[in-house]
Amino acid sequence: MPAETECEEVDVLIVGSGAGGLTAACCAADFGASVLVLEKAPYYGGTSASSGGGLWIPNNHLMRAAGMEDSREQALAYLEALTSDAVDRSLIEAFVDNGPEMLEYLEQHTRVANEAMVQYADYYQSIPGAAPGGRSTDPKPYHAKHLGAAFKALGHSHVQTKVFGLIGYSNLEGAVLLSKAPGWLKVVTKLVLEYAADVIGRLQSRRSRRLVMGNALVGRLRHSLLDRNVEVRTNSPVSELLQDSDGRVCAVQCAGRRINARKAVILASGGFEHNQALRERFLPSPSRSDWSAAYPYNTGDLLLAGERIGAQLHLTEEAWWGPTIKLAKEDRARMLFTERSMPGCIMVNQRGQRFVNESVAYTAATQAMYQRNEDGSNLPCYAIFDARYRREYPFGPLLPKAMHLDWLQAAHIKRDFLHRAPSLNALAQKLNIDADELCATVERFNTFATHGVDEDFHRGENSYDQMYGDVRLAPNPCLAPLQEPPFYGVEIYPGDIGTKGGLKTDALARVLQQDGSVIEGLYAIGNCAASPMGRSYPGAGATLGPAMTFAYIAAKHICGR
């Protein structure tokens, strides 16, 4: 590191080390720029490292190789229907046109490697242009031995994406496990044996060296930067954006020192989900930072720094919403991506009534919690399930009871969040919800489950709903009655995996001023920028796909490509 008296200078300065920031660094280095990545936290990778690592890229080459058809026109139709009230069309076109190019570039020139999730449907199947699968990609597993010493500084996967809190699985493996599709037991056995067989890894730590999901994506990108001799400097918080006499951003203040950027500064620093003051300023009420499943270091520092130099903000009332549960002794909440979707679980409000199709995408589920909350009874709400569900499926930290592994769970886990009772009436009393309404709701739902048709919310009627159904059940893999005692209840909060509003940008990822003009020298991508996905969540990976695409766009523009 330079001496304190030196004024450090590079061509492109990137603030934030998630997938977007690391993509920008790889591309800018390839396009001839000197690059430095600054990361506030002690670990690199941000929320990306703890995420599912999927990329949502319409019309990508991987889906075509898998025999799936897509087109620019279909993707634009889908996105315009979802975002037209919130996003300029030029951003949508830039994403659709550059996303496939970005993905193909990374796969050809870096360590990045993915496969198409051909059965992972877009989230809004009723919208014209939605695809039944293939637009979402899954990072191929990666071995940490390739990172050498850099593995120690890689941010950890979220605890909810690991079996026993130790062994990760890919999205494709997880889909088999959670739906108990044919071969699920073979997958479990393979994962456990691979973990145990890594003798060198076990001598070093309990952490698995088989990287999957976000760890695989970030690990591959970090390895690519090692190939390029690009530094990722941790413990380096940026507090201010500095401008020259013409208003161009030319430097940052980092840990009390100035670092100059000859060409540009790219902000890739995440959202503000763990800043309670900003949540109260922007997000719907109630809103709490401890309901968020995102990286704890995301506190909106660069959003505020941009605002101080006149940057325009947009979509700050929005987040990548999802229902969450909170466990003591964990540094962030757990998102209920799949648990509420499994057959035999329903979500009810404090009146004991269902208010949403439990199998909808997580953002839509939380939006329903807020939007249908006239009397405040949806916040919090409750997941209700029975002994059959508890035996067959995981819920949060709890593995299926049929696996006979409850003894591995710490006592406080079951005690702190899982309520149990011998009857629905008794459970309602424990949860302080209307017992008569809960019993009536379950009775009506059980009738739907028997006939296979959810007359109230149409659960299980499209390919997205069915992704986390149980293929062994008929006539509807998403529906099963709640009738076997004891009964269980879990309190659910309106959480998120990150905020999605921030600095407003143009189609080149340049940050805009209040009057719509460009702040020269300043670019923003990912969750510190207003999302090009608007208020929607089009499909799995719609956070990272656009972040990496606009990172690629920004690097090309900065370097004159």
Digit-coded pLDDT (tens) for 119-139: 899 999 999 999 999 999 999
Closest residue by Cα to residue 361 from 398, 315, 317, 323 = 323
Report pLDDT for 188. Answer: 81
* Tokens linked to 270: 């995440």
- Indicate if the pLDDT at residue 389 is higher than 60: yes
Residues 443 and 510 in one domain: no
Residue 191 domain-assigned (yes or no): no
- Indicate if the pLDDT at residue 181 is higher than 60: yes
Residues 471 and 352 in one domain: yes
Give the whole-angstrom CA distance, residue 424 versus residue 96. 49
pLDDT band at 530 (very low <50, low <70, confident <90, very high): very high
Residues 470 and 557 in one domain: no
Closest residue by Cα to residue 353 from 369, 367, 337, 342 = 369
Burial 419-440, CB ≥16 within 10 A → b, else e: bebeebebbbeebebbbebbbe
Report pLDDT for 203. Answer: 83
Residue 161 domain-assigned (yes or no): no
The CATH number of the domain holding residue 543 is: 3.50.50.60
pLDDT band at 205 (very low <50, low <70, confident <90, very high): confident
Residue 472, classed as helix, strand or coil, is coil
User: Alpha-carbon dihedral of residues 19, 120, 398, 202, nearest 10 degrees?
Assistant: -50
Report pLDDT for 190. Answer: 87
Residue 102, classed as helix, strand or coil, is helix
Give the whole-angstrom CA distance, residue 465 versus residue 161. 21
Q: Residue 483: enclosing H or E segment and its boundaries? A: none
Pairing status of strand 35-38 against strand 231-233 = parallel
Residue 39 domain-assigned (yes or no): yes
Backbone angles phi, psi at 144, to 5 degrees: -65, -15
Residues 479 and 531 in one domain: no
Residue 471 domain-assigned (yes or no): yes
Backbone angles phi, psi at 400, to 5 degrees: -55, 135
Residue 44 domain-assigned (yes or no): yes
Residues 473 and 516 in one domain: no
Residues 103 and 224 in one domain: yes
Report pLDDT for 6. Answer: 65
Q: How many CA atoms lie within 13 A of 409 on its CB side?
A: 22
Neighbours of 280 (CB within 10 A): 13
Give the whole-angstrom CA distance, residue 133 versus residue 130. 9
Residue 496, classed as helix, strand or coil, is strand
| Cα dihedral 15, 19, 23, 29 sign | positive
Residues 30 and 134 in one domain: yes
* Tokens linked to 85: 């009230």
Residue 193 domain-assigned (yes or no): no
For range 149-171, the mean pLDDT: 87
Residues 385 and 248 in one domain: no
For range 194-203, the mean pLDDT: 87
The predicted-structure confidence for 280-323, as pLDDT tens digits, reads as follows 999 999 999 999 999 999 999 999 999 999 999 999 999 999 99
For range 540-550, the mean pLDDT: 97
Residues 481 and 522 in one domain: no
Residues 407 and 552 in one domain: no
The residue assigned the tokens 């719907």 is: 284
Give residue 374's domain range. 323-495
Report pLDDT for 206. Answer: 86
Closest residue by Cα to residue 394 from 324, 415, 385 = 385
The CATH number of the domain holding residue 483 is: 3.90.700.10
Report pLDDT for 4. Answer: 47
pLDDT band at 199 (very low <50, low <70, confident <90, very high): confident
Report pLDDT for 5. Answer: 45
Give the whole-angstrom CA distance, residue 332 versus residue 440. 35
Residue 1 domain-assigned (yes or no): no
Residue 50 domain-assigned (yes or no): yes
Give the whole-angstrom CA distance, residue 507 versus residue 550. 8
The DSSP letter of residue 380 is S
Domain termination residue (choose one: 467, 495, 523): 495
Most confident range, picked from 280-284, 362-366, 471-475: 280-284
Give the whole-angstrom CA distance, residue 321 versus residue 333. 12
The CA distances from residue 144 to 42, 140, 174, 220, in Å, are: 18, 13, 20, 9
- Indicate if the pLDDT at residue 384 is higher than 70: yes
Backbone angles phi, psi at 12, to 5 degrees: -125, 125
| DSSP codes, 134-199 | SSEEEEPPEEGGGGGGGGGGBPPPPGGGEETTTEE--HHHHHHHHHT-TTHHHHHHHHHHHHHH-H
Report pLDDT for 65. Answer: 96
pLDDT band at 404 (very low <50, low <70, confident <90, very high): low
For range 51-56, the mean pLDDT: 96
User: Considering the chain, what is the average pLDDT of its residues?
Assistant: 93
Report pLDDT for 179. Answer: 66
Residues 490 and 506 in one domain: no
To the nearest whole percent, how much of the chain has pLDDT over 90? 79
Domain termination residue (choose one: 442, 473, 495): 495
Which of these ranges, 38-52, 191-205, 395-409, 463-477, has the smallest mean pLDDT? Answer: 395-409
Alpha helices in 331-461 (DSSP H): 362-371, 387-392, 411-417, 424-431, 435-451
CA angle 182, 57, 150 (to 5 degrees): 80
Residues 233 and 358 in one domain: no
Give the whole-angstrom CA distance, residue 362 versus residue 49. 20
Domain termination residue (choose one: 452, 469, 495): 495
Backbone angles phi, psi at 517, to 5 degrees: -80, 165
The predicted-structure confidence for 64-111, as pLDDT tens digits, reads as follows 999 999 999 999 999 999 998 899 999 999 999 999 999 999 999 999
**For residues 494 and 290, is the Cβ–Cβ distance under 8 A?**
no
**For residues 208 and 142, is the Cβ–Cβ distance under 8 A?**
no
Greater model confidence, 175 or 516: 516
Number of domains forming the structure of the chain: 2
Give the whole-angstrom CA distance, residue 216 versus residue 475. 38
Give the whole-angstrom CA distance, residue 439 versus residue 269. 47
Find how far residue 464's CA is from the centre of its chain: 17
Pairing status of strand 345-348 against strand 313-314 = unpaired
